[in-house]
Amino acid sequence: MIMLAFAHLPATAGHAGEPPPAFVGWLFAGMGLVMFVLAMGVAALRFWAGRCIRRRQSRTFCMVIAAIGCLEFPYGTALGVLSLMVLGRESVRKLFTAPPGQ
């Protein structure tokens, strides 16, 4: 869609009627691919943090993932802050340090 938008831009003085260079489209496609890969990576880390919470392991990792989630406004911020509040409680801290099975 961005390539089509660039194709319909008004002509400038030096480049009348010429489409933008091909690398512009590849640049936007590359940026989109990088954003997609980062989003999938964060999603995988969130699933792993959920698994750690279920097993009551790696409280620090869960807190880091909650802090990263705070960057996603508005829902990620709310969930991240609430997760940090819950993970910071003394009762939850004891659950993560208790031996398995208790």
3-state helix, strand, coil in the chain (%, to 5): 70, 0, 30
Q: Is residue 62 part of a domain?
A: yes
Enter the pTM of the model.
0.73
Q: What pLDDT, on a 0 to 100 scale, did the predictor assign at position 11?
A: 61
Rounded to the nearest integer, the mean pLDDT of the chain is: 88
Identity of residue 54: R
Q: What pLDDT, on a 0 to 100 scale, did the predictor assign at position 16?
A: 62
In this prediction, residues 16-45 reach a mean pLDDT of 89
Rounded CA gap, 39 and 57, in Å?
A: 24
Q: Is residue 25 part of a domain?
A: no
Q: Is residue 22 part of a domain?
A: no
Residue 6 pLDDT greater than 90, yes or no: no
| Number of domains comprising the chain | 1
Rounded CA gap, 66 and 70, in Å?
A: 7
More confident residue, 23 or 11: 23
Q: Is residue 38 part of a domain?
A: no
Q: Is residue 80 part of a domain?
A: yes
Q: Is residue 65 part of a domain?
A: yes
Q: Is residue 82 part of a domain?
A: yes
Residue 82 pLDDT greater than 90, yes or no: yes
pLDDT tens-place string over residues 34-74: 999 999 999 999 999 999 999 999 999 999 999 999 999 99
**Residue 72 belongs to what domain range?**
47-94
Q: What pLDDT, on a 0 to 100 scale, did the predictor assign at position 25?
A: 86
